[in-house]
């Protein structure tokens, strides 16, 4: 038996919410080595719209949670990423990227500063590779502790804050965007972060596996909350113009090409001491040969991943990396890479769908306005423990 065959034959792992997902009628599919819910009986479009209007509960326990322990953890991780992590205050978080020596993206991740270290959340399909990469490269004095057994729930949508404030310390509603705190929900200690992958306000709850079902049931008992699967998670992030690792970004794409140059810290640009810095800084100065863009097909036919993109004369200029129907937009939407000369908003393109060129145009990202929480003033004191 070949290695690929043995990998395919390996049993799927289950999250702490697998039984709950099945009890709620989820259709389960293989994803990143896990058995995951792709949708519930109401369907993807209903779940998508419910999240935009109220609040959706996502089981994202397949993601990789990794703690880095050590006072120099932020400084050590900066060897591998282009983000400014040393300036993060305890209880604050930042999006950053693991890079290879060519400036390609090994993974994208969230890093939260803790007293005495960092907490990372990495992509499910990359977590074992990321763990090995961290252990090999962070050096002595930094303990790398995988917490893959912990559950991770995401509550996303405009009513997410009101729901959590009802079940936890009311101060959770005043948490700043991209911050973290410890609280108790349904009797369970939870490490809560305020970010998300839908373009909406939302929170992620990291908690012990044995507490996950009770907390999920408490959330789902709230009238605003409905369970949401991977299908709607994908359409929500696509409308929000957010990248999916292995599709819109990978080891062959740089942050500049991907439109993620904002993740390069100013200090890090000046020092140029991160992997692939020479190539990335050159692209910042001269411009990349290609760019990730939003795409709006003119008709109703969606353009899926891998669809060829041509100019009006039929010359190949790129390909679609993510695409489908946008329920909030009410039309197909897509993202992809095109040659920079064709990346201007409004540029006419052709999408070769089932061997038929179909008209499209470059569109502004995101396709729907993001609604991340912005505090009107510094948050009032509460019982929440930051970091």
CATH class of domain segment(s) 63-139+254-286: alpha beta
- Structural contact between residues 113 and 89, judged by C-beta atoms closer than 8 angstroms: yes
Tell me the domain boundaries of the chain.
14-61+150-236, 63-139+254-286, 289-363
HSE-up of residue 215 (Cα within 13 Å, Cβ side): 30
d(CA 312, CA 276): 35
Query: Which residues, 6+ apart, have CB-to-CB distance to 343 below 8 Å?
Result: 290, 291, 293, 362
Largest CA distance in the chain: 63
The predicted pLDDT at position 9 comes to 58
Burial class (CB in 10 A: 0-12, 13-18, 19+), 12: middle
Give the pLDDT confidence score for residue 376 in this predicted structure. 72
DSSP E strands: which ranges in 165-224? 180-185, 188-193, 202-207
Q: What is the pTM of this model?
A: 0.94
- CATH class in words for 289-363: mainly beta
Prior bond of 137 cis (ω within 30°): no
Instruction: Give helix 44-53 / helix 230-239 axis angle, nearest 10°.
Output: 60
Token output for 328 = 């909030």
- What is the per-residue pLDDT for 26? 98
CATH tag, 14-61+150-236: 3.30.1360.120
Cα separation, 132 vs 110, in Å, equals 17
- From the list 159, 233, 251, the residue with the least C-alpha distance to 196 is 233
- pLDDT tens-digit profile, the chain (387 residues): 333 333 455 799 999 999 999 999 999 999 999 999 999 999 999 999 999 999 999 999 999 999 999 999 999 999 999 999 999 999 999 999 999 999 999 999 999 999 999 999 999 999 999 999 999 999 889 999 999 999 999 999 999 999 999 999 999 999 999 999 999 999 999 999 999 999 999 999 999 999 999 999 999 999 999 999 999 999 999 999 999 999 999 999 999 999 999 999 999 999 999 999 999 999 999 999 999 999 999 999 999 999 999 999 999 999 999 999 999 999 999 999 999 999 999 999 999 998 999 999 999 999 999 999 988 754 443 334 333
Residue pair 213/19 in contact by the 8 Å Cβ criterion? yes
Alpha carbon distance 33, 14 (integer Å) = 9
User: If we measure between CA atoms, which residue out of 263, 262, 240 comes closest to residue 335?
Assistant: 240
């Amino acid at each position: 038996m070949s290695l690929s065959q043995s990998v395919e034959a390996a049993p799927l792992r289950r999250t702490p919410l697998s039984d709950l997902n099945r009890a709620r009628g989820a259709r389960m599919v293989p994803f990143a080595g896990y058995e995951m819910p792709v949708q519930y009986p109401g369907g993807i479009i209903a779940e998508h719209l419910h999240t935009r209007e109220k609040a959706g509960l996502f089981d994202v326990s397949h993601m990789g949670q990794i703690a880095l322990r050590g006072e120099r953890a932020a400084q050590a991780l900066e060897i591998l990423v282009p983000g400014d992590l040393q300036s993060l205050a305890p209880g604050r978080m930042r999006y950053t990227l693991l890079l290879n020596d060519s400036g390609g993206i090994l993974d994208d991740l969230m890093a939260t500063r803790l007293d005495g270290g960092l907490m990372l959340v990495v992509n499910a399909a990359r977590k074992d590779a990321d763990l090995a990469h961290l252990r090999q490269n962070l050096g002595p004095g930094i303990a790398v502790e995988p917490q893959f057994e912990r559950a991770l729930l995401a509550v996303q949508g405009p009513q997410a804050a009101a729901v959590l404030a009802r079940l936890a310390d009311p101060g959770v509603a005043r948490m700043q965007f991209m911050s973290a705190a410890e609280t108790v929900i349904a009797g369970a200690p939870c490490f809560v972060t305020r970010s998300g992958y839908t373009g909406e306000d939302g929170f992620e709850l990291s908690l012990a596996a044995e507490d996950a079902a009770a907390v999920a049931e408490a959330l789902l008992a709230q009238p605003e909350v409905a369970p949401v699967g991977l299908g709607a998670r994908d359409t929500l992030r696509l409308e929000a113009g957010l990248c999916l690792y292995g599709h819109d970004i990978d080891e062959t794409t740089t942050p500049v090409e991907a439109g993620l140059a904002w993740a390069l810290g100013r200090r890090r640009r000046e020092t140029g001491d991160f992997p692939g810095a020479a190539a990335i800084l050159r692209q910042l100065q001269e411009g990349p040969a290609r760019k990730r863009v939003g795409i709006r097909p003119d008709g109703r036919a969606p353009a899926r991943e891998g669809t060829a993109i041509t100019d009006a004369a039929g010359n190949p200029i790129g390909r679609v990396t993510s695409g489908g129907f946008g329920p909030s937009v009410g039309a197909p939407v897509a993202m992809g890479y095109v040659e920079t000369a064709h990346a201007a908003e409004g540029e006419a393109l052709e999408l070769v769908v089932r061997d038929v060129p179909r008209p499209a145009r470059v569109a502004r990202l995101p396709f729907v306005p993001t609604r991340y929480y912005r505090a009107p003033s510094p948050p009032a004191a509460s019982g929440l423990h930051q970091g």
